[in-house]
């Protein structure tokens, strides 16, 4: 194979341009994305959970199931409450019977009686969909049946979902499940029908202790936004890079 100098230079140039193309297109996209992050939308929903206030009554789970037509006795729920009991020997006992729907009416955890004397600390942690900015569940959907709305909520299209279950596997928070009746992927959507109609989400309204709140991150005057930006809040599994939008006050290091 022969190659003149002219041809060699031509090919090298063409190769360099071709190699630079994909990098160019990525860089060209970025300002658009950045704009969307800052002023593209006037609304970005966020959730604030105050674990210090939660008493584990489970009224939020009860209200959520009723509001969102999740079969009451099926072992699935869009939101749930976990109980953490950390004993003096360093063990962490976690349970969430019936997703916490009926509250916690016994000191027994998974059939184990724990002596109150042995408890170092104990508390309740409500969990729900984090409505991530980088939702892995959306990324893996092969048919475009789950997506992010412009106000940051991830929804599932029940007519479009084929029930493959990739999203259920992809969610690092385990919030997705199959709806026992519709047989499609199901998850918390911040009660999208309520919040877009000026109502509070069912769990937020049901909580007598104000352990659950919602607000608009794009509104600096929003009381929830003020807490999130001025106080020490945490998110779950930050290291996954999903940018979750459920913020926790008073979260313990043991909470996973």
Rule CB under 8 A: which residues touch another protein?
A: 32-33, 36, 40, 52-59, 63, 66-68, 85, 102-107, 116, 119-124, 134-135, 138-139, 144-150, 155, 157, 159-160, 189, 192-194, 196-197, 199, 202, 205-206, 208-209
Tokens 């352990």 map to which residue? 211
DSSP-derived pairing of the beta strands 45-50 and 246-249: parallel
Nearer to another protein (CB atom), residue 192 or residue 240: 192
* CA 208 – CA 202 distance, rounded (Å): 12
Query: Is 57 among the residues that bind ligand HEC (CB under 6 A)?
Result: yes
7 contact choice in another protein, ligand HEC, none (CB below 5 to 8 Å, kind-dependent) = none
| The dihedral formed by the CA atoms of 245, 250, 252 and 253, expressed in degrees to the nearest 10 | 60
Q: Whole-number minimum distance, CB 133 to another protein, in Å?
A: 9
User: Rounded to a whole number, what is the distance in angstroms from the first to the last CA of the chain?
Assistant: 62
| CA-to-CA dists, residue 206 to 59, 64, 201, angstroms | 6, 9, 9
Which CB sits closer to ligand HEC, 55 or 140? 55
Interface with ligand HEC, residue 208, by CB under 6 A: yes
| Integer CA distances (angstroms), 154 to 16, 38, 131, 178, 192, in order | 40, 19, 6, 16, 10
Number of residues forming the site for ligand HEC (CB under 6 A): 3
- Give whichever of 83 and 168 is closer to another protein, judged by the CB atom: 83
Cβ nearer to another protein, comparing 63 with 129:
63
Least distance to ligand HEC, CB of residue 57, Å: 4
Nearer to another protein, 10 or 254 (CB): 254
Q: Which does 199 bind (CB under 5 to 8 A by kind): another protein, ligand HEC, none?
A: another protein
User: What is the closest distance, in whole angstroms, from the C-beta atom of residue 208 to ligand HEC in the complex?
Assistant: 5
The residue among 57 and 246 lying less far from another protein, judged by its C-beta, is 57
Torsion of the alpha carbons at 56, 61, 62 and 65, rounded to the nearest 10:
-170
Q: How far is the CB of 7 from another protein (least distance, A)?
A: 34
Closest CA to 195 of 81, 46, 38: 46
Per DSSP, 199 falls in state P
Q: Which of the listed partners (another protein, ligand HEC, none) does 58 bind, with a CB threshold of 5 to 8 Å by partner kind?
A: another protein
Helix, strand, coil percentages, rounded to 5, for the chain: 30, 20, 50
CA distance 93 to 186: 28
Could you list the residues that contact ligand HEC (CB under 6 A)?
Answer: 57, 59, 208
């Amino acid at each position: 194979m022969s190659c003149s100098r002219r041809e060699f230079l031509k090919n090298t140039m063409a190769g360099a341009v071709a190699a630079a193309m994909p990098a160019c297109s990525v860089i060209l996209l970025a300002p658009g994305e950045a704009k969307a992050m800052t002023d593209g939308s006037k609304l970005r929903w966020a959730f604030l959970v105050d674990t210090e206030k939660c008493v584990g009554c489970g009224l939020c789970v009860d209200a959520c199931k009723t509001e969102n037509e999740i079969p009451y006795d099926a072992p699935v729920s869009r939101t749930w409450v976990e109980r953490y009991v950390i004993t003096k020997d360093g063990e962490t006992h976690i349970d969430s019977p019936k997703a916490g729907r009926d509250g916690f009416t016994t000191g027994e955890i998974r059939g184990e009686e724990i002596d109150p004397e042995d408890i170092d600390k104990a508390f309740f942690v409500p969990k729900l969909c984090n409505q991530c900015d980088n939702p892995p569940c959306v990324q893996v959907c092969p048919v475009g049946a789950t997506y992010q709305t412009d106000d940051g909520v991830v929804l599932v299209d029940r007519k479009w979902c084929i029930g493959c279950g990739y999203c259920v596997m992809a969610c690092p928070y385990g919030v997705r499940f199959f709806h026992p009746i519709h047989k499609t992927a199901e998850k918390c959507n911040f009660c999208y029908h309520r919040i877009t109609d000026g109502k509070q989400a069912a769990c937020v309204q049901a909580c007598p202790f104000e352990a659950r709140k919602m607000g608009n991150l794009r509104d600096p005057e929003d009381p929830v936004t003020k807490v999130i930006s001025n106080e020490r809040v945490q998110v779950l599994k930050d290291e996954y890079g999903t940018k979750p939008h459920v913020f926790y006050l008073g979260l313990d290091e043991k909470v996973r």
